[in-house]
Amino acid sequence: MHKAFLLFLSLLTVQLAIGQSWQSQLVWEDAEGRLQYSHCDKGFLLPDFSHAGYQGGGIDLPQMNVVKTIEPIAGDNTAHIQAAINEVGTRTANTQGLRGALLLKAGIYEIHGTLRVPFSGMVLRGEGDGADPTFNTVLFAKGNTPHQRDVLVVGNSSKSNWNSQISGSKSNITSELVPVGTHSFDVEAASLYTVGDQIIIYHPCSQEWLEAIDFGGVSDPNELWSVNQFPIVFNRYITAIDNNTLSVDAPLFYSLDKSLAQSYIYKPNMNGTVYNVGIENLRIDIETLGGTDENHAWQAVRFKSCENAWAKNCSFVHFGQSGIITEATTRSTFLNCNALDPVAIITGSRMYNFNTYLYSQLNLFENCYARNGRHNYISNGTSTTSGNVFLNSISDGAHSVNEGHRHWTSGMLFDGHEERNLRREFVLGLYNRVDAGTGHGWSAVHSVLWNCDVTAGGVIALHEPPTAQNYAIGCTAKSITGRPYSSIDFPLGYVEGTNQPGLYPESLYLAQLSDRKGVSSSIPVVYKPLNDGLNFYLKGNSIFLTGVVMAGGGENIVQIYDMSGRMMYSQKVYHLDQGYALNTALSSGVYLLTLSGSEVRYAQKIIVK
* pLDDT tens per residue across span 153-208: 999 998 878 999 999 999 999 999 999 999 999 999 999 999 999 999 999 999 99
pLDDT in tens, 109-127: 999 999 999 999 999 999 9
Q: Is the pLDDT of residue 562 over 80?
A: no
The count of other CB atoms within 10 Å of the CB of residue 536 is: 17
Domain identity same for 444 and 495: yes
> Structural domain tally of the chain?
3
Contact indicator for 363, 55 with CB cutoff of 8 Å:
no
Q: Establish if 64 belongs to a structural domain.
A: yes
Q: Is the pLDDT of residue 336 over 70?
A: yes
From CA 137, how far away is CA 102, in angstroms rounded?
A: 12
Which are the contacts of 553, defined by CB distance < 8 A and separation ≥ 6?
none
Domain-terminating residue out of 480, 510, 540: 510
Domain identity same for 356 and 322: yes
pTM recorded for the entire structure:
0.85
Q: How confident is the model at residue 18 (pLDDT cuts 50, 70, 90)?
A: very low
Residue 549 confidence (pLDDT): 45
Q: Is the pLDDT of residue 551 over 60?
A: no
Q: Establish if 47 belongs to a structural domain.
A: no
List 68's β-bridge partners, or say none. Answer: 102
From CA 522, how far away is CA 514, in angstroms rounded?
A: 18
Which has more pLDDT, 572 or 290? 290
Domain identity same for 288 and 391: yes
Task: Kindly state the average pLDDT of the residues 137-162.
Answer: 95
Residue 537 confidence (pLDDT): 53
Domain identity same for 340 and 456: yes
Task: Kindly state the average pLDDT of the residues 289-300.
Answer: 98
Determine if residue 152 is left, alpha or beta; phi over 0 gives left, psi from -120 to 50 gives alpha, anything else beta: beta
Contact indicator for 105, 138 with CB cutoff of 8 Å:
no
Residue 603 confidence (pLDDT): 66
Any idea which of 79-93, 384-398, 474-488 has the lowest mean pLDDT? 474-488
The count of other CB atoms within 10 Å of the CB of residue 72 is: 20
Residue 161 confidence (pLDDT): 82
Residue 561 confidence (pLDDT): 74
Q: Establish if 517 belongs to a structural domain.
A: no
From CA 453, how far away is CA 420, in angstroms rounded?
A: 9
Domain identity same for 66 and 35: no
Domain identity same for 226 and 291: no
Domain that residue 96 falls in: 54-160+273-510
Domain identity same for 421 and 563: no
Q: Establish if 48 belongs to a structural domain.
A: no
Residue 526 confidence (pLDDT): 35
Residue 519 confidence (pLDDT): 36
- Please state, in angstroms and as integers, the Cα–Cα distance from residue 294 to each residue in 146, 316, 372, 471, 574, following that order: 13, 16, 16, 37, 63
Tell me which residue of 44, 21, 177 sits closest to 448, measured CA to CA: 44
Domain identity same for 103 and 241: no
* Max CA distance (Å), the chain: 76
Domain-terminating residue out of 221, 250, 266: 266
Q: Which residues of 438-458 are buried (b: 16+ CB within 10 A; e: fewer)?
A: ebbbbbbbbbbbbbbbbeeeb
Q: Is the pLDDT of residue 143 over 90?
A: yes
pLDDT in tens, 354-365: 999 999 999 999
Domain-terminating residue out of 266, 281, 304: 266
Q: Establish if 236 belongs to a structural domain.
A: yes
Q: Establish if 258 belongs to a structural domain.
A: yes
Domain identity same for 92 and 179: no
Q: Establish if 100 belongs to a structural domain.
A: yes
Q: What is the mean pLDDT of the chain?
A: 88
CATH of the domain at 535: 2.60.40.3080
Domain identity same for 451 and 554: no
Residue 373 confidence (pLDDT): 98
Residue 45 confidence (pLDDT): 96
Determine if residue 314 is left, alpha or beta; phi over 0 gives left, psi from -120 to 50 gives alpha, anything else beta: beta
Residue 555 confidence (pLDDT): 65
Residue 238 confidence (pLDDT): 97
Domain identity same for 242 and 206: yes
Residue 220 confidence (pLDDT): 94
Domain identity same for 243 and 388: no
Task: Kindly state the average pLDDT of the residues 410-427.
Answer: 96
Q: Establish if 305 belongs to a structural domain.
A: yes
Q: Is the peptide bond before 505 cis (omega within 30 degrees of 0)?
A: yes
Give percent of the chain above pLDDT 70.
84
From CA 326, how far away is CA 303, in angstroms rounded?
A: 5
Q: Is the pLDDT of residue 30 over 70?
A: yes
